[in-house]
A and B are shown apart, each in its own frame.
Chain A
Amino acid sequence: MDTKYKGTKPSRRSFLTGALAAGGAAVGTTYARAQGAPDPAITETQPWRQFLGDGVDAAPYGMPSEYEADVIRRRVPWLTADAVSSINFTPLHELDGIITPNGLCFERHHGGVAHVDPAEYRLMINGLVEKELVFTMEDLMRFPRENHVYFLECAANSGMEWAGAQLNGCQFTHGMIHNVMYTGVPLRLLLEEAGVKTNGKWLMVEGADAAGMNRSIPIEKALDDCLIAFKMNGEALRPEQGYPVRLVVPGWEGNMWIKWLRRIEVGDEPWHAREETSKYTDLLEGSIARRFTWEMDAKSVITNPSPQAPITHGKGWTVLTGVAWSGRGTIPRVDVTIDGGKNWHQARMSGPSLDKSMHRFYFEFEWDGSPLLLQSRAHDSTGYVQPTKEELRHFRGENSIYHNNGIQTWYVNENGEAENVEIS
């Protein structure tokens, strides 16, 4: 437990190790660390080396190591009135690569998790179609399927940061996002099955949960790349992600991805549902509010170091990493600064670069132990470059709540502790 640091401050032990490294080894070498006494982790025999471990089937559904017990979703209790209509956050600072494990995908429910029996699952298409249809799970499983990796970001991600730096941790500032490989049937095929009439220009999609969550989607998007998904990362959707069926609306704000999807109505106009008028609209200055702000603008965040993941090894070779994404395409490039934007460096992209998916970037550097101001800025395939928070506020003021894709700053002090700040 105490060998794996998880707190907000570097532990005494790791701090001492850092001091030892600084004093005993020349900066720039990694092997020459002074070692006073033999390491008991090597010279003593651990129980797992001597005694037999669990056999197969000790965990028929495997779980993470007991040492990873604090890699969990967390919520901010003061954000919402109760836990039923609330949100929690993906622990981005604990993850790497681009795929979010199913159990760590953030949750946002408007009426709690619906526990839908797949045997009683029905999907209805009605409205301006040639044939109003009902599908069972079995029917859906007989359509041709596709696999795609997409990020899902809540429109309110970073929403608490509009007026200034508030929360210490990328889990809380940026954790309303996950990135998953979906298996599903193109929505286009179901609409072709029903036959959309020529005046069918909009869909209303609706969930089977206690909120009856509903949103309007233009037909062009529905016919383009939306999926009726039933698997995430290869296994059935988790209940909290819409089991047995959710809608996937690539690149667009998360609450359009209706979970527990039960009905699709085709119409000639949008519905102006509660979640696209009173909520999920962007209040600008002068009382003007933007609606139908569907696409998520390009965004990035440094996940390590960050307030929940400080530098614990002292100065020397340091791995900086983070994630970037855009609702309009891929991320060919991310720039990183460690001096608050005086100088920028092109980060190293690693892992697949997929349309409307999270991308992973790295920047390795020699930390000299002086304070750092870390930022990342994403460039997407349309040429759009992630703006600063100040630039965003210029267009939107401070009350829009949603769609905050401004550049995040972490201040790292001499001890390696990180804090959420804003800079000039």
Chain B
Amino acid sequence: MSKFLKIFAPAATGAAGMLALAYTAADQFIVDIPAPIREAIAINAAVAEEARAEAEARAAELAMAGLAPSSDGGYGLGRGALSEEVAAWDTDVRPDGHGLPVGSGDVFTGEEVFVERCAMCHGDFGEAVGRWPVLAGGHGTLEHEDPVKTIGSYWPYLSTVYDYVKRAMPFGDATSLSDDEVYAITAYLLYVNDLVDDDFELSNENFQDVRLPNEANFIDDDRLTTEFPAFVRPEICMENCKDAVEITMHASVLDVTPEETAAKAAAAAEAAAAAEAAPAAAVEEPAAAEPTEAAADAGPSAELIAAGEGVFRQCRSCHQVGEGARNATGPALNGVVGAQIGAVDGFRYSNTFKDANEAGDVWSADRLAEFLADPRGSMAGTKMAFAGLRTQEDIDAIIAYLSTFSR
């Protein structure tokens, strides 16, 4: 080992030394050419040479640091963006009004659009459903134990509302709102925050007249001046730093940690639960060594149902199923397979669902599969904010899972 080191140590030093020497020499060449010699060189040649040497030195410096070199005038990569292309993507809006499109929308229109497109998550008045964001109220709560940070109570700039709704809302159907609809929703959000009257109309003309009440409470990061003096500590205690130590709080008191379950245990539990939920016929099937026609006739396999339960996790934020399932953002789904479309009591359906209901349409497995693959293509105008399942396996699994629940 030591012999090995001895062989390599001088070699390493040598290589580093040579690099350093080359670098130093290059550097000196630029800066320290003696004046008489410089005069002896033709001016143009000298300038060109100097530029070349400078570029070389800069490249050498970057190379030694492992950094990528620049190229004078660029690398000539990429192409010019067309104005239509920039317009298609550049929808952002800033507090100074930069980017605001020509348009307008009033509180009344905003309410209509909001109830149709936003209220399923945010509530009719921005009070929120479940754990979705609260958009209104919360005034004076910023110093409470649980501050309610809304557009009215916390957000510093109205432009942020416009920018965000335009780029990201409705959740699951981004970029589907027109500029005027975004103005209208923004006006309505001002109204539910008691910042404008019900006859208010917002437009690109008056947008910057609106100021949100909490703007002045924002400060730029000041940690370097407020916290660093306390936390930069050249001297710190290492021995006998305190006399006694008491435990002041246990996490187990709250007990909010998700259960630590081995993947295998979870899979086993899932399979067991699915077996329990499966129709008796499927359970009574002998542990088939190979799938048979009889098994297919008897209903979906426990495996498929278990897989469906997994797929259903992405639906659970809006749909309930099983014992005690109730309507939430979406209707309860007990007995949905084979049921009449749009027939769950007490759920406020979109027009397309009302039409299907009146026509007597039924959720056959095929119809459901088509809907789940492409909700908005299959039922244009549905309120369901979901892009669709990506694979046929997922669709089959989820239908198998849903078929285990009767109304």
Partner of B89, one of A6, A84, A262, A288: A262
Residues of B219-253 at the interface with A, using a CB-CB cut-off of 8 Å, are 219-223, 226-228, 230-234, 236-252
Cα separation A218 to B69 with both chains bound (whole Å):
22
Q: Is the CB of B240 within 8 A of A265?
A: no
Partner of B258, one of A75, A110, A269, A274: A75
Q: Is the CB of A126 within 8 A of B167?
A: no
Contacts of A131 in B (CB 8 A): 80
The chain B residue with its CB closest to the CB of A291 is B218
Contacts of B94 in A (CB 8 A): 267, 269-272
Contacts of B95 in A (CB 8 A): 269, 272
* Chief secondary structure at chain B's binding surface: loop
Does A116 touch B at the CB level, under 8 Å?
no
Cα separation A321 to B376 with both chains bound (whole Å):
52
Q: Is the CB of B241 within 8 A of A342?
A: yes
Q: Is the CB of A277 within 8 A of B262?
A: no
Q: Mark A271-298, 1 if CB is under 8 A from B, else 0.
A: 1111001100101011111111111010
Which of A26-34, A100-108, A186-194 participates in binding chain B?
A186-194
Does B130 touch A at the CB level, under 8 Å?
yes
Q: Is the CB of A189 within 8 A of B231?
A: no
A-B contact count (CB 8 A): 292
Contacts of B217 in A (CB 8 A): 287-289
Given contacts A278-B149, A340-B245, A344-B237, contact A168 B257 (CB under 8 A): yes
Nearest Cβ on chain B to A406's Cβ, whole angstroms: 11
Q: Is the CB of B156 within 8 A of A277?
A: yes
Does B180 touch A at the CB level, under 8 Å?
no
Cα separation A314 to B220 with both chains bound (whole Å):
50
Contacts of A143 in B (CB 8 A): 68, 75, 77
Q: Number of A interface residues at 8 Å Cβ cutoff, please give it.
A: 111
Residues of B74-104 at the interface with A, using a CB-CB cut-off of 8 Å, are 74-75, 77-81, 85-86, 89-90, 92, 94-96, 98
Cα separation A384 to B223 with both chains bound (whole Å):
12
Q: Is the CB of A81 within 8 A of B131?
A: yes
Cα separation A307 to B257 with both chains bound (whole Å):
11
The chain A residue with its CB closest to the CB of B247 is A421
The chain A residue with its CB closest to the CB of B174 is A210
The chain A residue with its CB closest to the CB of B128 is A81
Contacts of B23 in A (CB 8 A): none
Partner of B219, one of A165, A193, A212, A288: A288
Nearest Cβ on chain B to A89's Cβ, whole angstroms: 10
Q: Is the CB of B160 within 8 A of A278?
A: yes
Contacts of A164 in B (CB 8 A): 249, 254
Contacts of B260 in A (CB 8 A): 6-8, 169, 308
Cα separation A297 to B387 with both chains bound (whole Å):
39
Cα separation A386 to B263 with both chains bound (whole Å):
35
Q: Number of B interface residues at 8 Å Cβ cutoff, please give it.
A: 94
Q: Is the CB of A421 within 8 A of B250?
A: yes
Cα separation A76 to B221 with both chains bound (whole Å):
30
Does A391 touch B at the CB level, under 8 Å?
yes
Contacts of B159 in A (CB 8 A): 272
Does A48 touch B at the CB level, under 8 Å?
no
Does A339 touch B at the CB level, under 8 Å?
yes
Q: Is the CB of B92 within 8 A of A344?
A: no
Does A373 touch B at the CB level, under 8 Å?
yes
Cα separation A308 to B251 with both chains bound (whole Å):
13
Given contacts A131-B80, A133-B79, contact A290 B249 (CB under 8 A): no
Contacts of A274 in B (CB 8 A): 160, 163-164, 168
Nearest Cβ on chain A to B93's Cβ, whole angstroms: 8
Does B204 touch A at the CB level, under 8 Å?
no
Could you pull out 12 A-B pairs where Cβ atoms are within 8 angstroms? A70-B263, A72-B263, A81-B132, A127-B90, A172-B257, A212-B175, A267-B98, A270-B94, A272-B94, A278-B151, A342-B242, A382-B232
Q: Identify the A interface with B (CB < 8 A).
A: 1, 6-8, 69-70, 72, 74-78, 80-85, 110-111, 124-127, 131-135, 139, 142-147, 164-169, 172, 185-186, 188-189, 192-193, 195, 204, 206, 210-212, 214, 262-263, 265, 267, 269-274, 277-278, 281, 283, 285-295, 297, 307-308, 335, 339-346, 373, 382-387, 391, 395, 398-399, 411, 419-424
The 3 closest A-B pairs by CB, nearest first: A82-B317, A144-B68, A212-B167
